[in-house]
């Protein structure tokens, strides 16, 4: 069962509100997702970030014995803020990207915690025969988005191979943050397809759950930045891919290569990762062009269908990230989410989706209770 809480954290220069979701099974490890919002007012970035770090530590102390597996900072200006943010969150497995929070602050935080794990390397945490590996803020040299994507995936594949893993068997989730997505996304798509073909990731096998979205790194020569999550110790069949074919079509039908969602089964629970999902139908067409309210409703239908196929509902969701193309749509979308799912940790950012006609996109993570006895518990 997911438990939700809202905590107002004081002690810093700015007030911070933390939305928290937690999950545990009897005798199993507890895990938390938290989204932290700062009421920055006219305060400078350093004050806002320091207040968020203080609140982050308050939460971590409350999650006795927990490790932070991953922490993402959504920045309003990466070129100006990333160095200071990296110093403030220096000892945390950190992802940073320019996707401005639309609540008026300069920075927001999404973090994942888990108790009982042992940190065994940079972004690597082990427990009960599994090692969860977060590769964060990966960048590569290249003249354009295609060459950088190729280099990113080559390097990540080599890293996985050094641990006895592969993209096909162990990579659960990726995020591609693309500078000027309307121009550079096609290069990501083409390079990823070519790399996946060489790895045996095809329409006849499977792809990887993913989000490809506008996100500006701090340097102008970086067109693509990647985050990725993999699990060492998975058995064949432990990842189940989600399609919801009555609502969405396979992505390869319109030339891209990612899965709509994936469920990772453990002996005591399942993790469900829903990829970036927009207002699309089962023929790959944009639905309700120009109408952000109706696009949001159709997006919800698609996400709920994917969750349902994975044996979950929105009641099982631990966190949500929402991406908007236009700041003018923020109030409408904020109010819609607040009315329907006020308790789920969520952040809404300015991050144009990969098709200009899509005004809004969301991704989420859910956890459900359920024992698959042939697998070890988390």
Write down which residue in 214, 234, 254 finishes a domain. Answer: 234
Q: What is the pLDDT of residue 11?
A: 62
Domain count, the chain: 3
Quote the domain boundaries for residue 139. Answer: 119-234
Asked if 181 and 354 count as a contact pair (C-beta separation under 8 A), the reply is: yes
Please check whether residue 83 lies inside any domain of the structure.
yes
Q: What is the pLDDT of residue 371?
A: 66
Average pLDDT along the chain, 378 residues, taken 10 residues at a time? 82 89 91 95 93 95 93 98 98 97 97 96 96 98 98 98 97 98 98 97 97 98 98 96 98 96 96 98 97 98 98 97 98 98 97 97 95 83
pLDDT tens sequence across 205-237? 999 999 999 999 999 999 999 999 999 999 999
Q: What is the pLDDT of residue 154?
A: 98
Same domain, yes or no, for 57 and 132? no
Same domain, yes or no, for 108 and 125? no
Please check whether residue 256 lies inside any domain of the structure.
no
Write down which residue in 216, 234, 252 finishes a domain. Answer: 234
Same domain, yes or no, for 80 and 145? no
Task: Find the helix or strand (DSSP H, E) in which 293 lies.
Answer: helix 292-309
Please check whether residue 244 lies inside any domain of the structure.
no
Helices (H) and strands (E) in the chain, counts: 7, 18
DSSP H helical segments within 76-213, as ranges?
78-88, 145-162, 167-170, 181-198
Between CA 215 and CA 222 the distance in angstroms is 11
Same domain, yes or no, for 4 and 66? yes
Q: Which residues of 269-281 are buried (b: 16+ CB within 10 A; e: fewer)?
A: bbbbbbbbbbbbe
Strands 3-9 and 66-75: unpaired
Four-point Cα dihedral 255, 314, 279, 144, nearest 10: -40
Q: What is the pLDDT of residue 57?
A: 94
Q: What is the pLDDT of residue 27?
A: 80
Same domain, yes or no, for 68 and 137? no
Same domain, yes or no, for 332 and 371? yes
User: Tokens for 206?
Assistant: 């499977």
Same domain, yes or no, for 1 and 112? yes
pTM score:
0.97
User: Tokens for 164?
Assistant: 């006895």
Same domain, yes or no, for 358 and 294? yes
Looking up residue 316, the CATH number of its domain turns out to be 3.30.1330.40
Q: What is the pLDDT of residue 370?
A: 79
Q: What is the pLDDT of residue 374?
A: 85
Same domain, yes or no, for 103 and 12? yes
**CA 78 distance to own-chain centroid:** 18
Q: How many CA atoms lie within 13 A of 312 on its CB side?
A: 31
Please check whether residue 146 lies inside any domain of the structure.
yes
- For the chain, the C-alpha Rg in angstroms (whole number) is 19
Q: What is the pLDDT of residue 40?
A: 80
Same domain, yes or no, for 2 and 66? yes
Please check whether residue 354 lies inside any domain of the structure.
yes
């Amino acid at each position: 069962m997911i438990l939700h809480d809202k905590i107002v954290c004081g002690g810093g220069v700015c007030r911070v509100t933390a939305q928290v979701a937690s999950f545990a099974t009897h005798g199993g490890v507890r895990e938390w997702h938290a989204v932290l919002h700062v009421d920055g007012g006219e305060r400078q970035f350093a004050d806002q970030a320091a207040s968020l770090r203080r609140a982050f530590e308050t939460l971590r102390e409350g999650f006795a014995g927990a490790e932070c597996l991953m922490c993402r900072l959504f920045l309003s200006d990466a070129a100006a803020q990333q160095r200071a943010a990296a110093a403030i969150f220096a000892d945390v497995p950190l992802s940073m990207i320019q996707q401005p929070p639309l609540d008026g602050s300069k920075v927001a935080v999404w973090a994942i915690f888990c108790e009982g794990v042992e940190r065994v390397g940079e972004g690597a945490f082990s427990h009960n025969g599994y090692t969860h590996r977060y590769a964060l803020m990966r960048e590569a040299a290249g003249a354009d988005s295609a060459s950088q994507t190729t280099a990113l995936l080559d390097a990540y594949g080599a890293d996985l191979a050094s641990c006895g893993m592969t993209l096909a068997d162990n990579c659960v989730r990726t995020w591609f943050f693309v500078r000027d997505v309307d121009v550079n996304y096609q290069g990501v798509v083409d390079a990823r397809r070519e790399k996946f073909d060489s790895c045996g990731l095809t329409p006849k096998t499977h792809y990887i759950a993913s989000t490809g979205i506008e996100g500006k790194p701090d340097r102008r020569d970086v067109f693509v930045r990647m985050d990725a999550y993999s699990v060492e110790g998975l058995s064949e069949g432990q990842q189940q891919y989600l399609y919801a074919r009555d609502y969405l079509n396979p992505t390869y039908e319109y030339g891209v290569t990612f899965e709509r969602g994936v469920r990772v089964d453990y002996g005591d629970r399942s993790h469900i990762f829903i990829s970036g999902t927009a207002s699309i139908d089962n023929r790959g067409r944009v639905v309700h062009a120009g109408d952000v309210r109706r696009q949001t409703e159709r997006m919800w239908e698609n996400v709920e269908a994917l969750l349902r196929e994975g044996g979950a509902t929105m009641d099982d969701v631990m966190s949500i990230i929402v991406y908007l193309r236009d700041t003018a749509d923020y109030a409408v979308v904020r109010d819609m989410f607040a009315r329907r799912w006020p308790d789920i940790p969520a952040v809404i950012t300015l991050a144009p989706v990969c098709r200009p006609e899509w005004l809004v996109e969301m991704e989420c993570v859910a956890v459900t209770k359920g024992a698959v006895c042939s697998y070890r518990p988390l």
